[in-house]
Amino acid sequence: MKQQQPINPIQSTYNKTVKEVYYAIYRNAKQLLSTLEREELRYSLEREDKTTTKVGTIIHEFINPLIYLRLECHPNEILAIHYGFEQVLAVNQYSKVTSAFIRSIYKLTAKDTTAINIEEAVRTDWCIKTCSEMYEYIEERNKHHTFKQIKYKSATVRRKQMQAVA
């Protein structure tokens, strides 16, 4: 019988913080995408594995034609965040979404923002730059992902809600 290794409390706190920040980035990504009128750009494929956190496990993955986000377990059972974005050649609504997404990743993982420094959790050993191609590929060969659609929320309605709160 294989013995469980004791959990390192620092590692546990680190992973908990990475996970919390990852899901904040994920919520932000969905909020950004919800402002897009084109329905097909609000489709996503999601994968989640809540059963284990061993090396190589994809804990959560979000694939969209414009944005890619993944939380996975790396060696030493440390959580890591990978991301991607569709390269948009012109400055338009889509480039504003992808730019805001990238800024949110680095803003939310900054050591000034979190109680514990998790900046190393953002990995750039590979980065997806053709999210639309990846989305189509996974959609055609889907074995692990769930299809979801993000509801459309007009940016003007959201602005009015924000002003009402202020």
Give the model confidence (pLDDT) of 50-99 as tens digits: 777 788 899 999 999 999 999 999 988 899 999 999 998 888 899 999 99
Per the model's pLDDT, the better-predicted residue between 44 and 90 turns out to be 44
What is the spatial distance between Cα 83 and Cα 50, in angstroms, rounded to a whole number? 20
Report pLDDT digits (tens) over 15-37. Answer: 999 999 999 999 999 999 999 99
Q: Which two tokens stand for residue 27?
A: 């919520």
Residue 43 token pair: 């489709």
Q: Residue 79 is which amino acid?
A: L
Distance CA(98)–CA(96), nearest Å, equals 6
What length is written for the chain?
166
| pTM exceeds 0.75 for this model | yes
| Residue 144 CB contacts under 8 Å (≥ 6 apart), including other chains | 47
